[in-house]
């Protein structure tokens, strides 16, 4: 727990990060930037878990462990996603969302 900084400060930051991530996912055109937005979302969740654990339930470790797992899984996800984006780049020489709209309703 940090003196002078309440839980609300952390939660505001993490909520902002989450919604910036969602907005970025929707607005951004570049597939890599979309991936960055997803990382932002996952990191906001990790902050949430850590803060809830530290401020509300300081005698346990469940939130800490959860955030460790989130970081690990986020790395795995990012690597697979980048591999697939590189594959797209090799096919069509572009990684904008407008390039990957061959299938539509």
Q: If you count them, how many residues does the chain have?
A: 105
**How many other C-beta atoms are found inside a 10 Å radius of the C-beta of residue 58?**
9
Q: Would you say 52 and 73 are in contact if contact means Cβ atoms under 8 Å apart?
A: no
Alpha-helix runs per DSSP H in 3-61: 7-27, 31-51
Residue appearing with tokens 């929707």: 26
* Binder of other proteins out of 56, 64, 71, 94 (CB under 8 A): 56
Among 1, 3, 98, 102, binds other proteins (CB under 8 A): 102
CA 34 to mean position of chain CA atoms: 10
Binding status of residue 10 toward other proteins by CB under 8 A: no
Smallest gap from residue 22 Cβ to other proteins (A): 8
Question: Which residues contact other proteins (rule: CB under 8 A)?
Answer: 18, 21-22, 25, 31, 34-35, 37-38, 41-42, 44-45, 48-49, 52-53, 56-57, 60, 62-63, 65-66, 69-70, 73, 76-77, 80-81, 83-85, 87-88, 91-92, 100, 102-105
């Amino acid at each position: 727990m940090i003196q002078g900084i309440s839980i609300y400060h952390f939660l505001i930051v993490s909520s902002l990060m989450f919604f910036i991530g969602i907005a970025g996912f929707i607005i951004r055109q570049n597939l890599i930037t979309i991936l960055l937005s997803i990382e932002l979302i996952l990191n906001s969740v990790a902050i949430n878990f850590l803060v809830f654990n530290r401020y509300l339930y300081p005698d346990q470790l469940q939130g800490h462990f959860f955030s460790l797992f989130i970081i690990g899984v986020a790395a795995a996800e990012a690597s697979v996603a980048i591999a697939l984006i590189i594959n797209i780049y090799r096919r069509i020489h572009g990684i904008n969302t407008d390039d990957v709209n061959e299938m539509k309703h």
